[in-house]
Amino acid sequence: MEILGGSLNISILAIFYTALGAFLSFMMFHLFDDFNNDWENETLSYQLGDVSLELSIVGLVAFWSTHIISDFTPFFEVHPELDKLIDSYISGLFYALAVFIFLEGLTDKVKFLYNKYLNSHFVRVFPQNWSLMKTMFGPRKTDTKKEKA
């Protein structure tokens, strides 16, 4: 019976957190600038402020909604340890999934800032086409036609 109750609680929470993430994304879409040429041409402080505020709101809503929901009695009775596990797993997974599916612009803004300001520093340590697998095992064979000839 605990597996059934736990599964039903997972389903309800998955729907709730996905809806919450979608609603938050919709609200943020209308509250913040779109990622476009105008945004790219803003000052660095404006861009960092925009991204920081968006990420802060995502984090605050994620934390406080999870905290509030964890105090509620589960819809279907399960062992308290299982209930806490379900709450933490589902809240993190589905909320993050929903937020970042719908907040495509925030993802683009973070990628833009990374590529413009950080990528050149990281490629000094990890070259652009560097690969741990290539370093450990050498280049892989990708052209099978040469082997057959």
Reported pTM:
0.75
**65 within 8 A of 20, measured Cβ to Cβ:** yes
Cβ neighbours of 89 (radius 10 Å): 12
CA distance 22 to 127: 37
Residue-wise pLDDT tens for the chain (149 aa)? Answer: 789 999 999 999 989 888 888 888 889 889 999 999 999 999 999 999 999 999 999 889 888 988 888 888 888 989 989 988 888 888 878 877 777 777 788 889 999 999 999 988 888 887 777 777 877 887 766 645 555 55
**33 within 8 A of 39, measured Cβ to Cβ:** yes
Q: How deeply is 144 buried, as exposed, middle or buried, from its count of CB atoms within 10 A (0-12, 13-18, 19+)?
A: exposed
Of 53, 76, 89, 97, nearest to 4 (Cα)?
Answer: 76
| Domain-wise residue ranges, the chain | 2-148
**108 within 8 A of 37, measured Cβ to Cβ:** no
**66 within 8 A of 85, measured Cβ to Cβ:** no
